[in-house]
Homo-oligomer: A and B are copies of this chain.
């Protein structure tokens, strides 16, 4: 338990964050605890409190120092396809760092690469004809949908064995015409649905134009 040669005994924020990142990558955030982290660093849980105020601050530091490598060169040059590609990048980052989403929602600072992505999306929106203010509002909607999808789109039950059909013909669906109609095909339809499906809804609208508009 006591440090004897080899690894340096003294802590610093970088060592703490590196080790924390390793735990999250290998076992998920749910396995990141002050106690486990300290043990991995041959230290004590309480020693960590000299470097971060609490666990929330540790998570915020983890996000601020995250390596968000975005390959800007691979993006389409302009138009709607660039916007779609940027949103897909954002979605992929969120899926990879799902645990960070609720922390981001509290308003913690992102790093330069995260800010760059936001700026690119805002720019792409204005290039498609929105004013800066409209682009801001559109980005809010994109954020909620993208984060929501990244966070919630894995119907993995812990028990109950095989995944049930999306809409069941269970007793509570009796007499509900649309659900009864969709029940047999909802599984296939759900498989067709992707983040990009929803993204297109968001950009182009889900409803047909009102006649005369």
Measuring CB to CB, which residues of chain A are less than 8 angstroms from any residue of chain B? 53, 56-57, 80, 101-102, 105-112, 114-116, 118-119, 122-123, 125-126, 128-130, 132-138, 140-142, 144-149, 151-159, 163-164, 166, 168, 170-173, 176-179, 181-182, 185-186, 189-190, 192-193, 197-198, 201-209
Contacts A149-B144, A172-B115, A178-B122 given; does A138 touch B206 at CB 8 Å: yes
Chain B residue at minimal CB-CB distance from A136? B189
Contacts A122-B178, A126-B178, A182-B136 given; does A107 touch B164 at CB 8 Å: yes
Q: Can you offer 6 A-B residue contacts whose CB atoms are under 8 A?
A: A109-B172, A119-B177, A137-B201, A144-B153, A151-B151, A209-B209
Number of copies: 2
B105–A152 CB distance below 8 A: yes
A128–B172 CB distance below 8 A: no
Contacts A158-B56, A176-B119, A206-B202 given; does A107 touch B152 at CB 8 Å: no
Q: How far is the CB of A126 from chain B (nearest CB, A)?
A: 7
B159–A57 CB distance below 8 A: yes
B112–A163 CB distance below 8 A: no
